[in-house]
Amino acid sequence: MPISLTLTEGVLPKGAEKKAIKRITDAFLHWHGLSGNKVMTPNVTAHLSVLPKGHAFSGGEPLDEGVWIELKTPSFAFTDRKIQKGFFKEATDIIVELSGGKLPRHRIYSNVIHTLDGTWNIDGNAMTNEEIGQTIA
């Protein structure tokens, strides 16, 4: 379940990006009741993109500082409103904290993209939601 963390250069101190990835990954697993799950934990992957100044926009205008958190997940993830609110609050809090409180919350954008049932690949096998549930159980 890839997590994409995109941020503008300098919004987090050097080295804090890795901490953000780890903590957001842990939050995802926690909110879905999967902390320590031997199958799911290594399948929550992430990548980091750092945008140079002048390469981010809001409303078509240059945006000097911002963070984008996007998750791609099977369609059963994030279906509970409590999980949605809890995870995104925690992920936002993590970024605000790691920025030293300098990045305003309204400059942190996040979303989830769901895949079609049966298109999630684990260990080279396209799995349905039911098959994923059986595998992680």
Question: Per-domain residue ranges for the chain?
Answer: 3-136
pLDDT in the model for residue 137: 78
Q: Does the pLDDT of residue 102 top 90, yes or no?
A: yes
CB atoms within 10 A of CB 51: 15
Q: How confident is the model at residue 119 (pLDDT cuts 50, 70, 90)?
A: confident
H-assigned helices in the chain: 16-31, 40-43, 81-98, 129-136
The CATH number of domain 3-136 is 3.40.50.1370? no
The CA distance from 47 to 71, in Å, is 11
**Average of per-residue pLDDT across 72-89:** 94
Q: Does the pLDDT of residue 100 top 90, yes or no?
A: yes
Q: Does the pLDDT of residue 111 top 90, yes or no?
A: yes
Q: How confident is the model at residue 76 (pLDDT cuts 50, 70, 90)?
A: confident
Tokens 């996040």 appear where? 110
Q: Does the pLDDT of residue 24 top 90, yes or no?
A: yes
**Average of per-residue pLDDT across 79-101:** 97
Q: What is the pLDDT of residues 27-65, one digit of tens each?
A: 999 999 999 989 889 989 999 999 998 999 999 999 999
**Structure-block tokens of residue 56:** 């981010």
**What type of residue is 116?**
L
- Output the pTM of the full model: 0.90
pLDDT in the model for residue 8: 96
